[in-house]
Amino acid sequence: MIFWKLFYTFCKIGAFNFGGGYAMIALIQDEVVEKQAWMTAQEFTDIVAMSQMTPGPIGINVATYAGYTAVVNAGYDPWMGVMGAFLSSFSVILIPFVLMLLLAHYLLKHKNNKNLNNIFSSLRITVLGLIAAAALQLATPANFGSWSQSPLQLCLSLAIFLIVFLLSLKKKFSPVLLILLSGAVGLVVYGT
Amino acid sequence: MAGYFELFWSFFKIGCFTLGGGFAMIPLMEKELVQQKQWLSKEEFLDLLSLSQAMPGVFAVNMATSIGYRLRGKTGAVMSVLGNILMPILTILALALCFRYFRDNAVVESIFKGIRPCVVALIAAPVFTMAKNAGLNWRNCWIPLLAAALIWLLGVSPVLIIIIAGLGGFLYGRFINKKEAAA
Q: Is residue B109 part of a domain?
A: no
CB pairs under 8 A between A and B: 380
Q: For residues A49 and A13, what is the distance between their CA atoms, to the nearest angstrom? A: 20
Average pLDDT over residues B29-36: 92
* Residue at B108 is within a domain: no
- The answer to whether B148 contacts A122, with C-beta atoms less than 8 Å apart, is no
B9 located within any domain: yes
Asked if residue B107 belongs to a domain, the reply is no
Tally Cβ neighbours within 10 Å of residue B107: 13
Residue type at A58 in one-letter notation = I
**Alpha carbons B20 and A172: distance in angstroms, whole number:** 13
Is A94 near chain B, with CB under 8 Å? no
Q: Which residues of B touch A68 (CB under 8 A)?
A: 93, 96
Residue A80 near chain B (CB below 8 Å): no
CB contacts, 8 Å: B46 with chain A: none
Please check whether residues B76 and B14 belong to one and the same domain. yes
- Same domain, yes or no, for B17 and B90? yes
Q: Could you tell me what percentage of chain A is helix, strand and coil, using 3-state DSSP and rounding each to the nearest 5? A: 80, 0, 20
Cβ of B18 and A115 within 8 Å?
A: no
Q: Do the beta carbons of residue A45 and residue B113 sit within 8 Å?
A: no
Q: Which amino acid is at A51?
A: S
pLDDT greater at residue B102 or residue A95: A95
Shared domain check, B147 and B74: no
What's the confidence (pLDDT) of residue A20? 83
Residues of B in contact with A190 (CB under 8 A): 109-110, 113-114
Is position B148 within any domain?
Answer: yes
**Interfacial A residues in 59-78 facing B (CB < 8 Å):** 59-61, 64-65, 68-69, 72, 78
**Domain interval for residue B19:** 4-101
Q: Do B8 and B86 belong together in one domain?
A: yes
User: Would you call B162 and A18 a contact, using CB atoms and an 8 Å cutoff?
Assistant: yes
CB-nearest to B20 from A89, A126, A175 is A175
Same domain, B91 and B125: no
Query: What domain count does chain B have?
Result: 2
Considering CB atoms only, which of A93, A115, A176 is closest to B19?
A176
Classify residue B113: in a domain, yes or no. Answer: no
Residue B88 has pLDDT above 90, yes or no: yes
Are B66 and B138 in the same domain?
no
d(CA B130, CA B126): 5
Q: For residues B72 and B130, state if they share a domain.
A: no
Regarding whether B140 and B83 lie in a shared domain, the answer is: no
**Residues from chain A contacting residue B50 (CB–CB below 8 Å):** 111
Q: What is the DSSP string of A62-124?
A: HHHHHHHHHHHHTT--HHHHHHHHHHHHHHHHHHHHHHHHHHHHHHHHTTT-HHHHHHHHHHH
Q: Which residue has the higher pLDDT, B22 or A86?
A: A86
**CA-based nearest distance B82→chain A, Å:** 10
- Report chain B residues whose CB lies below 8 A from the CB of A153: 113
Q: What is the pLDDT of residues A56-100, one digit of tens each?
A: 999 999 999 999 999 999 999 999 999 999 999 999 999 999 999
- Provide, as residue numbers in chain B, all residues whose Cβ is less than 8 Å from the Cβ of A99: 55-56
* Cα gap B95→B92, rounded to integer Å: 5
CA distance A3 to A15: 18
The DSSP output letter for B32 is: I
Which segment of A19-23, A84-88, A135-139, B93-97 scores lowest on mean pLDDT? A19-23
The pLDDT tens digits of the residues spanning A128-184 come to 999 999 999 999 999 999 999 889 999 999 999 999 999 998 877 888 899 999 999
Q: Is residue B111 part of a domain?
A: no
Q: Domain check: are B18 and B97 in the same one? A: yes
Question: Is the pLDDT confidence value at B100 over 90?
Answer: no
Amino acid at A113: N
Nearest to B18 among A45, A55, A65 (CB): A55
